[in-house]
Structure 1
Amino acid sequence: MKLFLVGALLLLSVYASDDVIVYGDSSWDDGIKQHEVALVKFYAPWCGHCKRMAPEYEKAATKLKANDPPIALIKVDCTIDKETCDKFGVQGFPTLKIFRNGEVSQDYDGPREADGIIKYMRGQSGPSARELTSQADFDKFLSQDDNAVIGFFEGESKLKDSFLKVADTERDRFRFGYTSVKAVLEKAGFTDDIVVYPPKKLQNKFEPNEFKYDGNYDTDKIKNFLVHETNGLAGVRTQGNLFQFESKPLVTVYYNVDYVKDPKGSNYWRNRVLKVAQDYKRKVHFAVSNKEEFSSEIDEHGLADRKESDKPLVAAQTSEGKFPMDKPFSIENLKEFVDDLLAGKLQSYMKSEPIPDNQENLKVAVGRNFKELIIDADKDALIEFYAPWCGHCKTLAPKYEELADKLAEEDVIIAKMDATANDVPPLFNVKGFPTLFWLPKNDKQNPVPYNGGREVKDFVKFIAAHSTDGLKGYDKNGKKTKKSTDEL
């Protein structure tokens, strides 16, 4: 009876929640050693980040369990199994670590959604490029549900050397395989080539079922090919492959893309996008994305009130801003939308506070007046992007206002913008608060990040040194000048 209870307890401490393995203090030491490569999530049930990550982690676990070789996704509840969490210095949740043969290999710093986790962890398992030694190996490699990057090499070559180097650096983004088997090469019809094969579910009648690299053995050119030329006419854009969809203009069609639960429905709408996309090669880039996965992006494009529509939603991103399609989705409406986008006939969507009725010395920029107030003005400008909740911004606020008062008579605009309530123009890379940029009046398209001191005298000195026409009341070193005789 005692042995039965021990066995039952052990089973309770090691079980699968879907395909995520759960280990506890009593099962950790023996369990973790069983896995050649494993990703472990140390979490707390009350943690909001953990709750949001949980379904993505479970989706990734299911796919990685079927990987060749399998990759285990494990979780440890730190509110129960404190000894294990303390052993690995867990202080915040979730904490993720990669283990190899029972030992910590590294902290996990990859994406936290399913597609990104899968790609990142596949890159941690086995060689960076798998050798395919038979036709069966080749067919199995192609059968998975993401792009297969395959090198065909009759023997040693410079292209093969470059291919393997690229595989080493890009293994967490793409899945690489290579073969020198004569029968495989003959059947595929390639000899010294790199070819990308989309999964069968994405193959269609509008484009080839393979993408062949036509460049030389330059590794940067191979990487560029993989990133920018293997999505096809309308790739499936996810949170895990955003790096492949940075070219503009980009037209994204949002609907319930799900190639696991509804492949037929997913292709029904994608085929309509493809039909339009084939007429705009090299001019416009297209993608399809899951509505739920990109819910916040849909909001940012001004389509929040149409999320319940049973038809796809459409929005474009260009260097000029964001453009939602107002009409219901159809092939004809999508084509008209793209034509109008290229012709510059569309009005961009902009999240914006109301334009202030009155402006003080410290100008308030919002989405709707930014171009007129900052870009079009024939003056130099210093702009601060801030967040109302930011402590550093609150500390800067009185000094920044004093600066605006000091330079009120100068040929320079001192302005601020709440970056949480207004769309930040694409020109500006704002990742933290406060972020400040200097814009010379003759070169507003190339804002200069301000990284100097944040005292009033620091700002004055910087502006005096960089102002296009100089300041009337300050010399180039930011020192006040004496009033002229005429002013006495």
Structure 2
Amino acid sequence: MLVMFYAPWCGHCKKLAPEFEKAATRLKGTVQLSKVDCTAHSETCGRFGVSGYPTLKIFRNGRDSAPYDGPRSADGIYQYMKKQTGPDSVHLKTEEDLQTFINHYDASIIGVFSGTDSSHLSEFLRAAALLREQFRFAHTADLNLGKNYGVTSECVLLFRPPRLSNKFEESVVVFTDYLTIGSLRRFIRDHLYGLCPHMTVENRDRLRVRDLLTAYYDLDYHHNARGSNYWRNRVMKVGSNYAGRGLMFSVANKKDFLSELEDDFGLGTSDGEELPFVTIRTKLGHKYTMREEFTRDGQSLQRFLEDYFAGRLKRYVKSEPVPEKNSAAVQVVVAETFDDVVNDPDKDVLIQFYSPSCPHCKKLEPVYRELADALSSDPSIVVSKMNAVDNDVPLGYDVQGYPTIYFAPMGKKDEPIRYEGGRELKDFLKFVKREVSHSLRFRAPNDEL
């Protein structure tokens, strides 16, 4: 059973509710989905350690088994909970069993052992119990089932999905190291995706721990696997020449990431309808786009990669236009002017990241303007603000809500200080006075300080 602990007033709960209902309908008869209103049943929620909403937990045989940390979409919940049903590892007894198991949309991890009393089998089953939410496991106690893959002794076979089969890499990878839960986890992590995985909303965070090139196009492996592989094969052909250089390759359905492409790369809904749209997003958050059309011979992609590795590409930065006039006490910063203003080595800078629709930001506005007026007589300090919705937030600034305020000290721009104090003028002045690198000059209204 999957249980959602929620509060009726919680916005995230309201957003999740229709997805949860859809997943419940699809899983009916397989996995039961339930929900508990914590405003009406606070004792029950407290007993299970619920401190935020929504909290999702998996129960087995009436006991709290594990937190649910899977996707929050209907399809993601469905796929994740389907993996919770049945055994941790499927026992394969015949070649037909094996072929049926590996002929699947996702990858398969199969342990091949010499008998049911194998010590390696027991370790494999322990690993499967821990990792079943992420991967599909099966095992056989018959070594003969591995002979078609060159197996003559106990090992683990990783079968990549048949839909992603290609001539640039092997579809089956053999693990022959000493089997432990840790070594098996590392083996799966290092070999599961191969040269060019299919990035989805569910696996994108795992892929983006590395520098990642992605080709976005009309990809649909459920209904058009051959067409989906047309462009993927071209990415792989070029990408195989750059293996081992620290860049991973992937393909993705453009429609699944449309809002992200619009927000992060300024891609319009009508841009690149036919040809793939190619981006590179590094693990540090730097973004690059291939401006040349993706040619079928792959030459444009190769030129893009050569420029990337040579350091010739200009990073893509989402930015509002540079203001024509910027004479107000609170200086307006956009992404393109962030370095010039906030990272000015000769200035101490207070920067507020805000959203135009945020009521807290609007409430703060007169106080923040009053602060800027009070500090306007000091040429060494700048009070500024940036619309964090329409501009990329630079690395080193963690903006999860609005307003978020940082102080970028003179000479230490790589160590910005987050403001956590009150929202009154005197609170800001005390903070700035404490952090500035010089003797602060300011005009406090009514000589408050």
TM-score under structure 1 normalisation?
A: 0.71
Q: Aligned equivalents of 1:105 and 1:320: distance in 2? A: 36
Displacement after TM superposition at 1:232 (Å): 1.4
Decide whether aligned partners of structure 1 residues 220 and 156 sit closer, same or farther in structure 2, where only a CA change above 3 A counts. closer
Partner of 1:371: 339
Decide whether aligned partners of structure 1 residues 427 and 50 sit closer, same or farther in structure 2, where only a CA change above 3 A counts. closer
- Please say if 1:405 is aligned against 2:373: yes
Partner of 1:310: 274
Q: Of 275, 281, 286, which aligns to 2:249?
A: 286
Decide whether aligned partners of structure 1 residues 450 and 139 sit closer, same or farther in structure 2, where only a CA change above 3 A counts. farther
Decide whether aligned partners of structure 1 residues 190 and 471 sit closer, same or farther in structure 2, where only a CA change above 3 A counts. farther
Displacement after TM superposition at 1:322 (Å): 2.3
Decide whether aligned partners of structure 1 residues 434 and 278 sit closer, same or farther in structure 2, where only a CA change above 3 A counts. same
Q: Aligned equivalents of 1:198 and 1:54: distance in 2? A: 30
Alignment of 1:44-193 (within 5 A): 53=19, 61=26, 71=30, 110-113=70-73, 116-153=76-113, 155-157=118-120, 161=123, 164=125, 166-188=127-149, 189=151, 191=153, 193=155
Q: Aligned equivalents of 2:355 and 2:188: distance in 1? A: 38
Deviations along 1:36-72, one digit per CA (max 9) or x if unpaired, are x6899x9xxxx996898599859x94xx79xxxx836
Q: What letter corresponds to residue 406 of structure 1 in structure 2?
A: A
Q: Aligned equivalents of 2:226 and 2:397: distance in 1? A: 41
Q: What letter corresponds to residue 351 of structure 2 in structure 1?
A: I
Q: Aligned equivalents of 1:380 and 1:338: distance in 2? A: 39
TM-score under structure 2 normalisation?
A: 0.76
Partner-residue secondary structure (3-state), 1:292: helix
Decide whether aligned partners of structure 1 residues 229 and 240 sit closer, same or farther in structure 2, where only a CA change above 3 A counts. same
Q: What letter corresponds to residue 272 of structure 1 in structure 2?
A: R
Displacement after TM superposition at 1:461 (Å): 3.4
Q: What letter corresponds to residue 388 of structure 2 in structure 1?
A: A
- Please say if 1:270 is aligned against 2:232: yes
Displacement after TM superposition at 1:186 (Å): 4.7
Displacement after TM superposition at 1:429 (Å): 3.0
Structure 1 unaligned regions, length at least 5: 1-36, 77-87, 475-479, 483-488
Decide whether aligned partners of structure 1 residues 373 and 473 sit closer, same or farther in structure 2, where only a CA change above 3 A counts. closer
| Contact persistence 2:217–2:273 (CA under 8 A) | no
Q: Aligned equivalents of 2:427 and 2:250: distance in 1? A: 46
Structure 2 unaligned regions, length at least 5: 7-12, 36-43, 46-53
| Contact persistence 2:320–2:335 (CA under 8 A) | yes
Q: Aligned equivalents of 1:51 and 1:458: distance in 2? A: 40
Q: Aligned equivalents of 1:211 and 1:306: distance in 2? A: 40
Q: Of 337, 347, 358, which aligns to 2:314?
A: 347
| Contact persistence 1:56–1:112 (CA under 8 A) | no
Displacement after TM superposition at 1:202 (Å): 0.5
Q: Of 332, 350, 358, which aligns to 2:299?
A: 332
Displacement after TM superposition at 1:312 (Å): 1.6
Partner of 2:200: 238
Q: Aligned equivalents of 2:417 and 2:145: distance in 1? A: 54
Q: What letter corresponds to residue 254 of structure 2 in structure 1?
A: K
| Contact persistence 1:119–1:174 (CA under 8 A) | no
Decide whether aligned partners of structure 1 residues 466 and 187 sit closer, same or farther in structure 2, where only a CA change above 3 A counts. farther
Displacement after TM superposition at 1:276 (Å): 0.8
Displacement after TM superposition at 1:274 (Å): 0.6
Displacement after TM superposition at 1:152 (Å): 4.1
Q: Aligned equivalents of 1:109 and 1:400: distance in 2? A: 39
Partner of 2:49: none
Displacement after TM superposition at 1:452 (Å): 3.3
Displacement after TM superposition at 1:369 (Å): 0.8
Aligned residues: 413
Q: What letter corresponds to residue 423 of structure 1 in structure 2?
A: D
Partner-residue secondary structure (3-state), 2:385: strand
Q: What letter corresponds to residue 126 of structure 1 in structure 2?
A: G
Percent identity of equivalent pairs:
36
| Contact persistence 2:196–2:250 (CA under 8 A) | yes
Deviations along 1:88-131, one digit per CA (max 9) or x if unpaired, are 99xxxx99997879999999764244652344213422344444
Pairwise CA RMSD of aligned residues?
4.2
Deviations along 1:401-437, one digit per CA (max 9) or x if unpaired, are 2333333316343321111121222443322222233
| Contact persistence 1:411–1:471 (CA under 8 A) | no
Deviations along 1:130-186, one digit per CA (max 9) or x if unpaired, are 4445544333321211011334455224x963x555544443222233444332355
Decide whether aligned partners of structure 1 residues 243 and 107 sit closer, same or farther in structure 2, where only a CA change above 3 A counts. closer
Partner-residue secondary structure (3-state), 2:429: helix
| Contact persistence 1:384–1:417 (CA under 8 A) | yes
| Contact persistence 1:302–1:349 (CA under 8 A) | no
Partner of 1:381: 349
Decide whether aligned partners of structure 1 residues 459 and 257 sit closer, same or farther in structure 2, where only a CA change above 3 A counts. same
